[in-house]
Structure 1
Amino acid sequence: MKRTVLCALIGASAVALTACNDNNGKKPINFVPDFVQGDIQQTSYDGVTDDLLTAGLGASGLAGAAPAFDDPLNPTPAELRKLAIYNNYRALVDTSAAGGYGTFFGPQVGADGEGLIAGDEFIAYMSVPGTDVPVTVMAQVPDSFNAEQPCMVTAPSSGSRGIYGAIGTAGEWGLKKGCAVVYTDKGTGTGSHNLETNAAQRIDGTLTDGDEAVQFRADLTDEQRADFNSQSPDRFAWKHAHSKANPEADWGRHVLQSIEFGFYVLNEKFGRELGTEAVLRTITPDNTLVIASSISNGGGASVRAAEQDTDGLIDGVAVSEPNVNPVVDRSFTIVQGDGPVISEHSRSLLDYTTALAVYQGCANQASVNAAAPYNFNNAEIGANICAALAEKNLLDVEPGATLEEQAADALRILNDVYGIQPEQNPLAPIHFLINVPQSISVTYANAYARAGVEDRVCNLSFAATLPLLDTISNPGALTQLTAEGEAALFATSNGIPPTGGVNIVYDDAEGQPTNLAGSTSPGAAGKDYGLEALLCLRSLAQGTDAETGAALEGEQAELAAAIAEGIEAVRASGDLQGKPTVFVTGRADAILPINHTSRPYFGLNQKVEGDNSNLRYYEVLNAHHLDVLNGLRFPLAIPGIGGDLVPGLVDTYVPLHHYYFQALDLVWANLTEGEALPPSQVVRTTPRGDVATPLSSDNLPDIAAEPVPADLIVFEDNQVRIPD
Structure 2
Amino acid sequence: MKRTLTKFAALAGAGAALASCGSNSHMPDELNAPPSYLGTITSTTYDGSSDDLLTAGLGKTGLAAAAPAYADPANPTAAELRRNAIWANYRAVLDINANSGYGTLYGPNVDAKGNVTTSEGKVAGTEYLAYADDGTGNQNVTLMVQVPASFDPDHACIVTGTSSGSRGVYGAIGSAGEWGLKNNCAVAYADKGSGTGLYTFDDDSVNLQNGIRSTRTAAGKNANFSPTLSDADRTAFAKLTGRVAFKHAHSQQNPEKDWGKFTLQAVEFAFYVLNEKYGVLASDNKSHIVRLTPRNTVTIASSISNGAGSALLAAEQDTKGLIGGVAATEPQIQPKMATGYTVRQGGTPATAQGKALFDYSTFAALYQPCIAGSAGRCTALTAKDLLVAGDLPTQQADAKARLKAYGWLADSDVLQAAHAGTNILVAVTYANAYGKFSVTDKVCGFSFAPVDATGLPVAFTAAQKASSFATQNGIIGSVIYENSADGIPKVYTAGISPSNGQADQSLDGFLCLRALSTGMDPVTGGVLDVGLQAQSARVRAGMAEVAATGNLHGKPAIIVQGRSDTLIPVNHASRAYLGLNAAVEGATSKLRYIEVTHANHFDSFTNALPASIVPLHVYLFRALDAMYASLKSGSTSSLPPSQVVRTVTRADATTPITIANVPPIAATPAAGDVINVNGTVVDVPN
Could you say whether these structures have the same fold, taking a TM-score greater than 0.5 normalized by the shorter chain as the test?
Answer: yes
Cα-Cα RMSD: 1.9
Matches within 5 A, 1:328-477: 328-338=337-347, 340-342=348-350, 344-364=352-372, 379=373, 382-395=374-387, 397=388, 401-416=390-405, 418-432=406-420, 435-467=421-453, 475-477=454-456
Cα distance per residue 1:12-51 (max 9 Å; x no partner) = xxxxxxxxxx9997431112211113x1111110001000
Compute the displacement of 1:603 (Å): 0.8
Deviates more, 1:382-391 or 1:405-414: 405-414
Contact 2:192 2:255 in 1 (8 A): yes
In 2, Cα distance between the equivalents of 1:323 and 1:669?
25
Supply the AA of the counterpart residue of 1:356: A
Aligned to 1:191: 197
- Of 614, 634, 653, the match for 1:691: 653
Q: May I ask how many residue pairs the two structures share in their alignment? A: 652
Cα pair distance change 1:127/1:316, threshold 3 Å: same
Contact 1:333 1:343 in 2 (8 A): no
- Of 161, 168, 191, the match for 1:155: 161
In 2, Cα distance between the equivalents of 1:431 and 1:228?
31
Matches within 5 A, 1:251-330: 251-273=259-281, 277=285, 278-330=287-339
Structure 1 unaligned residues grouped into runs of 5+: 1-5, 7-21, 365-378, 468-474, 632-645
Identity of aligned residues (%): 44
Aligned to 2:19: none
Aligned to 2:479: 504
Matches within 5 A, 1:517-556: 517-522=493-498, 524-556=500-532
Cα distance per residue 1:156-195 (max 9 Å; x no partner) = 0001100000000000000011100010000111101002
Q: Does the residue aligned with 1:49 lie in a helix, a strand or coil?
A: coil
Aligned to 2:253: 245
Compute the displacement of 1:276 (Å): 5.4
Q: Does the residue aligned with 2:416 lie in a helix, a strand or coil?
A: helix
Aligned to 2:99: 98
Cα distance per residue 1:220-255 (max 9 Å; x no partner) = 12222012224x243111100000000000000000
Deviates more, 1:694-703 or 1:316-325: 694-703
Q: Does the residue aligned with 1:676 lie in a helix, a strand or coil?
A: coil
Compute the displacement of 1:539 (Å): 0.8
**Structure 2 length-normalised TM:** 0.92
Cα distance per residue 1:297-316 (max 9 Å; x no partner) = 00000000000001000001
Supply the AA of the counterpart residue of 2:596: V
Compute the displacement of 1:414 (Å): 1.0
In 1, Cα distance between the equivalents of 2:546 and 2:137?
16
Contact 2:158 2:186 in 1 (8 A): yes
1:591 paired to 2:567: yes
Contact 2:168 2:473 in 1 (8 A): yes
Contact 1:131 1:245 in 2 (8 A): no
Contact 2:33 2:272 in 1 (8 A): yes
Aligned to 2:602: 626
Supply the AA of the counterpart residue of 1:589: D
Supply the AA of the counterpart residue of 1:30: N
Supply the AA of the counterpart residue of 2:360: Y
Compute the displacement of 1:720 (Å): 1.1
Q: Does the residue aligned with 1:350 lie in a helix, a strand or coil?
A: helix
Contact 1:460 1:506 in 2 (8 A): yes
Contact 2:138 2:225 in 1 (8 A): no
Contact 2:605 2:613 in 1 (8 A): no
Supply the AA of the counterpart residue of 2:45: S
Supply the AA of the counterpart residue of 1:391: A
1:55 paired to 2:47: no
Contact 1:449 1:563 in 2 (8 A): yes
- Of 129, 133, 140, the match for 1:134: 140
Aligned to 2:37: 35
In 1, Cα distance between the equivalents of 2:144 and 2:370?
43
Cα pair distance change 1:254/1:112, threshold 3 Å: farther
Aligned to 1:571: 547
Supply the AA of the counterpart residue of 1:424: S
Compute the displacement of 1:518 (Å): 2.1
Cα distance per residue 1:551-574 (max 9 Å; x no partner) = 112221111101111111111111
Cα pair distance change 1:131/1:335, threshold 3 Å: farther
Supply the AA of the counterpart residue of 1:563: V
Q: Does the residue aligned with 2:349 lie in a helix, a strand or coil?
A: coil
Cα distance per residue 1:517-573 (max 9 Å; x no partner) = 222222545421111111111111111111111111222111110111111111111
In 2, Cα distance between the equivalents of 1:302 and 1:328?
19
In 2, Cα distance between the equivalents of 1:612 and 1:604?
13
Q: Does the residue aligned with 1:611 lie in a helix, a strand or coil?
A: helix
Aligned to 1:635: none
- Of 226, 237, 243, the match for 2:235: 226
Contact 2:200 2:243 in 1 (8 A): yes
Compute the displacement of 1:510 (Å): 3.0
In 2, Cα distance between the equivalents of 1:679 and 1:130?
47
In 2, Cα distance between the equivalents of 1:235 and 1:144?
46
Contact 1:330 1:344 in 2 (8 A): no
- Of 141, 144, 151, the match for 1:145: 151
Q: Does the residue aligned with 1:572 lie in a helix, a strand or coil?
A: coil
Q: Does the residue aligned with 1:590 lie in a helix, a strand or coil?
A: coil
- Of 434, 442, 461, the match for 1:482: 461
Deviates more, 1:25-34 or 1:480-489: 25-34
Q: Which runs of 4+ in 1 moved over 6 A?
A: 22-25
In 1, Cα distance between the equivalents of 2:431 and 2:459?
25
Q: Does the residue aligned with 2:276 lie in a helix, a strand or coil?
A: helix
1:601 paired to 2:577: yes
In 2, Cα distance between the equivalents of 1:593 and 1:482?
37
Supply the AA of the counterpart residue of 1:597: A
In 2, Cα distance between the equivalents of 1:295 and 1:403?
36
